Amino acid sequence: MSERRLIQRLRRGDTDALREIYLAHKDQLLTLAYSLVHDMSTAEDILHDVFVSFAGAAGTLTLRTGLRQYLTTCVLNRARDRFRRLKTQAERTEGNGPGEATAAGPEEEAAFAEEAERLTGALAELPAEQREVVTLRLNGGLRFKEIARLQGTSVPTVQARYRYGIEKLRALLPGGSLE
């Protein structure tokens, strides 16, 4: 079913439309959130918050972009809000920053878990702007123009951040494939 029809159904209060939108986008959005925050529980919370807000705003929702890009922007903004809150809390308590979570769950295969943990650790090494660009490009599937708009910067700046981020990841992950 087309995005436009789903949105129309959602505006009329059709909960099946919300379910269809959720099922169509949840995996990609959860992957994106996890790539940004490096903690599955927090990523799931972000996804939940995004869809609760999305459902609450359904009656007045006006999309200027596609639905996927809108939801991706919502996930990115929630992750940024989380980092700002954690930074403020850390500054107040003068403690260390938030701890890093492990990437692997017990049910995952060992090889996949090890590779995911390596990639997560390498992504955490990138400066925030580079991490956002790489994650939005590879996991979010956004174009450089879309990322530039989200970050409030130019396309060449986004391309440079992506290039430097990928180069650093390649240096940190010898023998791994990134794209």
Among 54, 76, 101, which residue terminates a domain? Answer: 101
CATH number at residue 130: 1.10.10.10
Name the residue range of residue 49's domain: 1-101
Is the domain of 83 the same as that of 118? no
CATH number at residue 26: 1.10.1740.10
Contacts of 159-168 spanning 24+ positions with Cβ under 8 A:
161/129, 161/130, 161/133, 161/134, 162/130, 162/133, 162/134, 162/137, 164/130, 165/126, 165/130, 165/131, 165/133, 165/134, 166/134, 168/122, 168/125, 168/126, 168/130
Is the domain of 61 the same as that of 146? no
Q: What is the pLDDT along the chain (179 residues), one digit of tens a residue?
A: 588 888 888 888 888 988 999 999 999 899 888 888 888 888 999 999 999 988 888 777 777 778 888 898 889 888 888 877 766 666 665 544 444 444 444 454 565 566 666 777 788 888 888 988 888 888 777 889 988 988 889 999 999 999 999 999 888 887 655 54
Is the domain of 85 the same as that of 3? yes
Is the four-CA dihedral 58, 60, 66, 69 of positive or negative sign?
negative
Q: What is the three-class DSSP state of 161?
A: helix
- pTM of whole model > 0.85? no
User: Burial of 16 by CB count in 10 Å (0-12 exposed, 13-18 middle, 19+ buried)?
Assistant: exposed
Q: Which two tokens stand for residue 26?
A: 């949840």
Counting the structural domains of the chain, the total is 2
Is the domain of 158 the same as that of 130? yes
Is the domain of 35 the same as that of 96? yes
Among 86, 101, 116, which residue terminates a domain? Answer: 101
Among 43, 67, 101, which residue terminates a domain? Answer: 101
**Pseudo-torsion of CA 53, 143, 160, 174, nearest 10°?**
90
Is the domain of 37 the same as that of 96? yes
For the chain, percent helix, then strand, then coil, each to nearest 5? Answer: 75, 0, 25
